[in-house]
Chain A
Amino acid sequence: MTTTRRNLLKFVGGGAAGALLTPAPWRLITDTALWSENWPGIPRPARGEIRARFTHCTLCPAGCAVRARCVNGQPVSLTGVKPHPISHGALCPWGIAGHHLPYHPARVRQGPVKEALAAVARAMDQRSAGERVAVLDLRPGRTVSWTYRRAMAAIENGLYLAPRQPAYSIDLAAAETVVSFGAPLFDGWGTPGNVFAARGNFRLVQIEPVESRTAALADMWLPIRPGTETAMAAALGGETTIAEAARLTGVGEEAIGAVKEAAENGPAVVLAADPSSPLMSLNAKLRALGRTVVARREAPLPEAWKKAAPVTEMAAAPDGAIRVLLIDESLPGGYVPWQEIEPKLAANAVVVVFTSTTEGYARHARYVLPSPVYPEAAEDIGPAIDTVGEVFRIAAPLLAPVVPVVNPGEFVARIAGLPQSDPLRERADAIHQAGRGALLGYADGKSTPAKEVTADNFWKTLNQGGCWMDDTGKKAAPGKLEFIAAGEPPHDELPLMVVAAGGRRGGLAPPLMSKLERESNLRMAANRVALSPADARSNGIENGGRCLLETACGRLSVVATIDAGVPAGVVEVAAGPRIADLCGASPRARVVRA
C-alpha cells in the first residue's frame, strides 16, 4: 500500500469514525461542561465545618422553625424542624430557598441614609402644629412594632399606623368543618405545617369563583358567582332561604343545604380571604366564637412599654396632616394601597421607606433605605392567624448583612430620642419574669418550663432558635369583632371582578423558587391577567395579546391569557403591590384591547 493523499484522508476519516465509537468524545463533552461550572467567578459554597443552626423564618407571620445547614458559617440549605409543635417540620417553597434572598439581584443595595435622617429632622422641626410624624408598620405585632409605638408616643403628634390585624386566632385543630370564602388555606394563609397537620380532621368547603389551588384540594368547591358571597353567607346564617341564595350565587340548593347542615352540626369555622371581611361575622351565628375562633394572645411585655401610641388605621388618620411618614416594608406583610396613603400626606411630606424591594412603596417614597432581609436580621415574629397560644420566637441571624443596611427600629428610635437598648432582650426578660409557659430548644428537642431556666439561659436558648410557648390559658372568645365594609357595588363601566391569584406576599421572592414557579406556570407573572373566553371575545382580546387593565384608580398595561377555568365576570391577576395600588378597596375593573 502506498502512502497517498487519498489514503491519508481515509485514515483520518476512519480514525474519526472509530473515535465516535469510543467513550472519549462523549466523556470530553460532559467533562468540559463540568469544567465550565468551575470557572473563576462562579459562586460556590465555601468548604469548611458543617454545622446545623436553628432560627425562625420571617417571610410571613407563620414564623416556621428552620434548621439551617451551614458550611463554614454560610447557610447552604434550609429545612423545617420536626419537633416544633406549630410548624411540624414543614417549610413552604419560599422558606426552603429563603437563604438566597440576601443575594437577590433585585435587592435594594444602597440608600441615602444621612440625607434621609437630615430631611426627617428638618421636617420635624419645621412642621406646623397640626402636622404629624407617623410610622406605617406593615407587620404589626412584633417587638419592633412596640418600639415604633413607644417612639410615636415620645414624639409630639406621633402616629402609629398599621393595617388592621384580626383580634382573633383560628383553632383549626378544633374544627370539623371549615367554610372558606376564598381564603387561600393551602397557599399561604396560616402556618403550612399546622394547616396540613389539622387537615385530616376537618372537611373543607371552598367558596370562590375561580378554582384556586386551595379550591382544587378542598373536599367541596362551590364556584360562586363573583360578588355574591354575602348572599351565600346570609343563607348559611339562616337570614335568607337556600333557594334565594341558590338563585343569586349560581350554586345548587342541595350543595348549599349540605354545607349549612355541616356548619351547624359540628364545630365549624368560617374563613375569609380578608380577615376583616364582614363574612367573618358568620362565625358568631355558627357558635364558633370561643371554640374555633378564639381571642388572639400576645406574649408578655415590659410594663414600661404599655405607655405607647395606640394603633391607628390609615383611614382614621387626618387628611393632609402627615409631614413625616416612615414606612417599615422590611418584611412582607399587609400592603396599604398608596391611594389610601397619599391623601393623608401634607404638602412637602417626607416619605422614607425601609425596604429590600423596589416594587412596593419605593415607587412613591422620597428616600428608599435598604433594610436587612431574612435571614440577616434579628427580630421576633408576631403570632400567626392560626396560633392559638402565646408564642415568642426570634429569627436569629444566620449571616451578616451582605450589603450596608439600615435597621428601621434603630432609625425610628433615634429620631424619637429613645434610650439605646435591646428591645428583644427586654421583651425576653419580661416573658421570663412572667414565669409561665415552656421553652423549646430545637437543638436538643427538649421543652423546659420557663421558670426552671435562668434569664440568661432563656435569652441564650431563644437566640439559638428556641421558642417560648404558653398554650395553657383558657381559650376565650375574642372581643367585639369589627369589620370593614365591602367595596363599592359593581357598575356597568367596570364589569369585571378582580381576583388575585395566590396570597398577597410582597417583598422579594427567592430567585430560584420564583424562576421555577414562573417556568412551571405555578404562579402568574406580574404583568399577566387571565380572562374567560367569553369576556375576551366580547372585548376583542386575543390570547397573549397586549391589553389594558383599567380600574377606578388607573390603568396598567398587561398581557392577556384566555383561560376557560376563569368564570365570566372575573379577571384573575397576580397578587402584588402594583395591583393593590391599582385596585385599592374596590376590586372592579375592565380589560380593553391596547
Chain B
Amino acid sequence: MIGGKIAFASGMLVALAGGWLAFPRILYQTRLQPVNFSHKVHAEKAGTKCEDCHSFRDDGTYAGIPTLDKCSGCHAAAMGTTVAEKNFIDQYVTPNREPQWLSYAQQPENVYFSHIAHVKLGHVKCEQCHGNEGGAATLRPYQRDPISGYSRDIWGRPVSPIGLRTEGGMRMDDCVDCHRRQGLEYSCMGCHK
C-alpha cells in the first residue's frame, strides 16, 4: 500500500521536475547570431545611438535591423584591431554578403506593430520593450520555439523564468499590460488588423 503511494508520488515528482525545470530548456532551440556584435562598443566608443542604425524610413516605416550597406558605411576597412571586426569584414563586407541576423523581436504575420507610433508619438524608450540590448557586450543566443516557429521573446507566457530576462517584453501580454497600466486603448483589431 505504502509502496503504491511512493510510486505515485515519485511519478508525480518526476513529471513536475520535468515540466517545470527540463521542459523550458528543451522547448527552445538555441542558435548563435552570425556575428559577435557588441552594442556596447558601438554605443560607448563610437557614440552611436539606437536610431543611427535602427532608423525610420522617409515614409515613417521602421527599417528594423540594418542591412550590410549601413555597416559598410563605417566598416569598409577595419576601424579597430579586434578579431570580431576583422572576421566581419572578411566574411561579410568584402564579399558583400548580407549577415543572416536572427531577429529576437520578429512578430508573427498576424501582428501589426508601429514603431513610429510608439517611439515618436508615445515617447517609449527602446529599452522598455527590447531590454538593455544597447548596453550588452555580446549578442545573446537566439531562442526559438521549434513548434510554433516564434522567437522566445515574442510568444507565450514565460514557462519558467530560467534564462529569461525580466525587464520589458514583446509578447502580447506585455503590450496589453503596458496599455492597461497607462490607461491606453487596446483591442484585438489594434494589432491584429
Q: Which residues of A contact B (CB under 8 A)?
A: 1-2, 4, 6-8, 10-19, 21-24, 27-28, 30-32, 34-35, 38, 44-45, 50-52, 77, 443
Contact = CB atoms under 8 A, between A and B. Distances in A.
A28 B156 CA distance: 11
A591 to B, nearest CB: 38
A77 B14 CA distance: 49
A10 B1 CA distance: 11
Contacts of A35: 147-149
Contacts of B11: 10-18
Contact of A14 (B9, B109, B157): B9
Nearest to B3: A1
Contacts of B59: 51-52, 443
Contacts of A2: 3
B61 interface: yes
B148 A1 contact: no
B136 interface: no
Closest 4 CB pairs of A and B: A22-B19, A14-B11, A18-B15, A18-B12
A192 to B, nearest CB: 18
Contacts of B18: 19, 22, 24
A7 B12 CA distance: 13
Given A11-B10, A77-B193, A34 B148 contact: yes
A14 B150 contact: no
A19 B6 contact: no
| Interface size, B (range) | 35 or more
Contacts of A1: 2-3, 6-7
Contact of A31 (B9, B148, B193): B148
Contacts of B12: 14-15, 17-18
A45 B14 contact: no
A492 to B, nearest CB: 50
Given A14-B12, A15-B11, A77-B112, A23 B23 contact: yes
B27 interface: yes
14 contacts: A1-B2, A1-B3, A8-B7, A13-B11, A14-B12, A15-B11, A16-B15, A18-B12, A18-B15, A23-B20, A31-B145, A31-B147, A52-B60, A77-B193
A7 B7 contact: yes
A44 B109 contact: yes
Contacts of B7: 1, 7-8, 10-11, 14
A461 to B, nearest CB: 16
A277 to B, nearest CB: 38
B4 A7 contact: yes
B23 to A, nearest CB: 4
B16 interface: yes
Q: At the interface, is chain A mostly helix, strand, loop or mixed?
A: helix
A35 B150 CA distance: 10
A48 to B, nearest CB: 12
Nearest to B8: A14
B159 interface: yes
Nearest to B145: A31
B20 A34 contact: no
Contacts of A18: 11-16, 19
Interface string B65-104: 0000000000000000000000000000000000000000
A429 B145 CA distance: 57
Given A15-B15, A32-B147, A45-B109, A10 B8 contact: yes
B56 to A, nearest CB: 11
A15 B18 CA distance: 10
A77 to B, nearest CB: 5
Contact of B147 (A8, A16, A28): A28
Contacts of B15: 14-19, 21-22
B3 A7 contact: yes
A581 to B, nearest CB: 36
Nearest to B5: A10
A19 B10 contact: no
Contact of B8 (A11, A19, A21): A11
A52 B12 CA distance: 55
Contacts of B155: 34
Interface in B156-193: 156-157, 159-160, 193
B103 to A, nearest CB: 11
Given A27-B159, A38-B148, A51-B59, 19 more contacts: A1-B2, A6-B4, A11-B11, A14-B10, A14-B11, A14-B15, A15-B14, A15-B15, A18-B14, A18-B19, A21-B15, A22-B15, A23-B19, A23-B23, A23-B160, A34-B147, A38-B149, A50-B62, A52-B60
Contacts of B60: 52
Contacts of A15: 11-12, 14-15
B9 to A, nearest CB: 6
A236 to B, nearest CB: 42
A27 B19 CA distance: 10
Among A4, A7, A51, residue most surrounded by chain B Cβ atoms (within 10 Å): A7
B148 A22 contact: no
